[in-house]
């Protein structure tokens, strides 16, 4: 079994996407490959077929590897609930809610678990592509590190360091990272990769020669800046689109605790659709479709909407526009949210926007399920699929229109309903993340907008097929940019 670990000079340098690229390249070369990130901090999560929660970045990497996402690919997931607090997910299940200091103190107890899991992985795959988090040069965290050099040491993995040239200062970042590593950590570093390059490579080459001399490590390639419609990385969205760039304008409210904003990624495969993120009344404009996404702190984010002036704009928009609330966004559209156990807030309850006739009680038990079903709209009878991650139970008023009939839950046949829609079929609430991935509902919704705007109706592409094409494009770009033969040599792996 071979392994390689991608670490970075900082967050958002492109570690996740390069791991995905390597997973696809190794798969194309005939190897069984598995992505692995021991600890991930993200509010973008996913539910596996067996009802476990994991980070979305490892989901994309699993697809790139050609395997079903499983929680062991991301055994520890941290979901921030406040600046210094997070929900800790271990092996796909809620472990606890901890402060940053409490979690830091817990790290040593996870080492044996991570080592045992990794030994099992080594028996099942030819190659494991590991991903670090943030930077290995975070020397204040070194003594209890389980995700960067600490993890590399635990499983004896070689490391490649990635730097982002688009931000500027890439040579200083690479040199500074190496400077702050211990001698034993430096030995693990076998090379560097420069990511997100735009311009003339001939102007960059003298700098590469100099940095190789300074840090005594070879540069294994320069990956060009590219635009592919693949999911954003785990962390906060560094760059968000705030402009309308296509005939159909989809706007998503960007809360402070926004989660699963990947629910709109499938819209990127629609040629006449643009997605923008808004966080103020001034940015609202006149969208064709407005989405209220999930939230890790629904009550605080509802207060944010209220205080920013967005609530009035949303209520006014609901009179004429098309509006979807997903998970926390669904809860906000209702009449009331109660939090009797103060799980999310010090408030026991808060008034909702009163757009939908539902009420929510936040409960301590977390719902984590994969679902399949079908929408009940008169104008759309297609199948849907997705997953639920929430700690609330929502009650629909008697006589309301249930939105979805769920036929399977974690692959077990079931008969239950989810969500609500209004009589005009313009306002929808659901707990199901990924509902727009479902081709029939996405096509129905967008064609409803196209008719309204006198735009030619279209067939929607299957998102999964589109994503496969984009992953292959990614692999082609990265294969051409980096020295794969050297990477195989670093892993002590003979090519098949």
* Tokens at 278, concatenated: 């808004």
Residues 6+ apart with CB under 8 A from 3: 122, 127, 128, 129, 130, 155, 157, 158, 491
Task: Identify the burial level of 347 via C-beta atoms within 10 angstroms of its C-beta, where 0-12 means exposed, 13-18 middle and 19 or more buried.
Answer: middle
Residues 6+ apart with CB under 8 A from 227: none
Q: Looking at 257, 374, 390, 433, which residue is catalytic?
A: 433
Identify whether the C-beta of residue 298 lies closer than 8 Å to the C-beta of residue 390.
no
Measured between alpha carbons, how far apart are the two ends of the chain, in Å? 13
Gap between the Cα atoms of 61 and 243, Å rounded: 29
* Tokens at 376, concatenated: 């009940």
Of the candidates 133, 40, 131, the one whose C-alpha atom is nearest the C-alpha of residue 80 is: 40
Rg of the chain, C-alpha, whole Å: 23
Of the candidates 388, 424, 392, the one whose C-alpha atom is nearest the C-alpha of residue 404 is: 388
Residues 6+ apart with CB under 8 A from 273: 246, 247, 248, 250, 267, 446
Gap between the Cα atoms of 395 and 385, Å rounded: 22
Q: Number of helices and strands (H, E) in the chain?
A: 13, 25
DSSP, collapsed to helix, strand or coil, labels residue 362 as: strand
- List Cα–Cα distances, 233 to 79, 134, 452, 457, in angstroms: 14, 12, 34, 32
Which residue has tokens 């005009």? 424
Residues 6+ apart with CB under 8 A from 20: 35, 57, 60, 61, 64, 230, 471, 474
327 belongs to the catalytic site = yes
Q: Looking at 86, 269, 327, 380, which residue is catalytic?
A: 327
Residues 6+ apart with CB under 8 A from 375: 381, 382, 384, 403, 404, 440, 441, 444
95 belongs to the catalytic site = no
Q: Which residues are catalytically annotated? A: 327, 433
């Amino acid at each position: 079994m071979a392994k390689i670990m991608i670490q970075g000079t900082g967050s958002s340098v492109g570690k996740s996407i390069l791991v995905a690229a390597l997973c696809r390249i190794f798969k194309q070369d005939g190897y069984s490959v598995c992505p692995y990130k021991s600890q991930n901090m993200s509010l973008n999560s996913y539910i596996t077929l067996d009802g476990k929660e994991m980070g979305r970045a490892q989901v994309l990497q699993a697809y790139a590897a050609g395997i079903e996402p499983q929680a062991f690919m991301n055994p520890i997931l941290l979901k921030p609930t406040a600046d210094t607090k997070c929900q800790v997910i271990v092996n796909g299940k809620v472990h606890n809610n901890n402060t940053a200091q409490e979690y830091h103190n817990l790290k040593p107890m996870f080492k044996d678990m991570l080592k045992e899991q990794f030994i099992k992985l080594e028996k099942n795959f030819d190659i494991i592509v590991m991903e670090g988090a943030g930077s290995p040069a975070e020397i204040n965290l070194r003594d209890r590190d389980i995700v960067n050099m600490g993890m590399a040491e635990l499983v004896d993995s070689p490391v490649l360091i990635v730097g982002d040239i688009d931000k500027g200062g890439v040579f200083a970042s690479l040199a500074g990272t190496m400077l702050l590593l211990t001698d034993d950590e430096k030995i693990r570093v076998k090379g560097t990769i420069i990511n997100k390059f735009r311009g003339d490579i001939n102007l960059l080459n003298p700098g590469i020669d100099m940095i190789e001399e300074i840090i005594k490590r070879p540069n294994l390639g320069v990956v060009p800046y590219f635009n592919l419609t693949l999911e954003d990385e785990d962390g906060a969205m560094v760059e968000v689109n705030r402009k309308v760039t296509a005939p159909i304008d989809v706007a998503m409210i960007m809360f402070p605790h926004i989660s699963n904003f990947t629910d709109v990624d499938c819209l990127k495969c629609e040629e006449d659709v643009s997605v923008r993120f808004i966080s103020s009344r001034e940015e609202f404009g006149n969208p064709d479709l407005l989405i209220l996404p999930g939230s890790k702190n629904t009550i605080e984010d509802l207060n944010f909407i209220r205080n920013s002036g967005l609530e009035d704009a949303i209520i006014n928009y609901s009179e004429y526009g098309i509006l979807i609330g997903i998970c926390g966004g669904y809860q906000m559209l209702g009449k009331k949210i109660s939090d009797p156990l103060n799980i999310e807030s010090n408030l026991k309850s808060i008034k909702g926007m009163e757009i939908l006739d539902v009420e929510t009680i936040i409960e301590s038990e977390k719902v984590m399920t994969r679902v399949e079903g079908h929408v009940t709209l008169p104008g759309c009878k297609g199948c849907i699929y997705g997953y639920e991650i929430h700690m609330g139970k929502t009650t629909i008023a008697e006589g309301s229109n249930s939105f979805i009939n769920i036929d399977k839950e974690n692959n077990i046949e079931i008969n239950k309903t989810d969500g609500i829609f209004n009589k005009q079929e313009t306002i929808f609430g659901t707990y199901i993340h990924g509902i727009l991935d479902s081709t029939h509902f996405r096509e129905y919704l967008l064609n409803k907008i196209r008719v309204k705007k006198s735009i030619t109706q279209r067939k929607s592409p299957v998102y999964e097929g589109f994503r496969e094409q984009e992953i292959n494009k990614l692999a082609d770009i990265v294969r051409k940019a980096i020295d794969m033969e050297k990477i195989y040599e670093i892993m002590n792996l003979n090519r098949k």
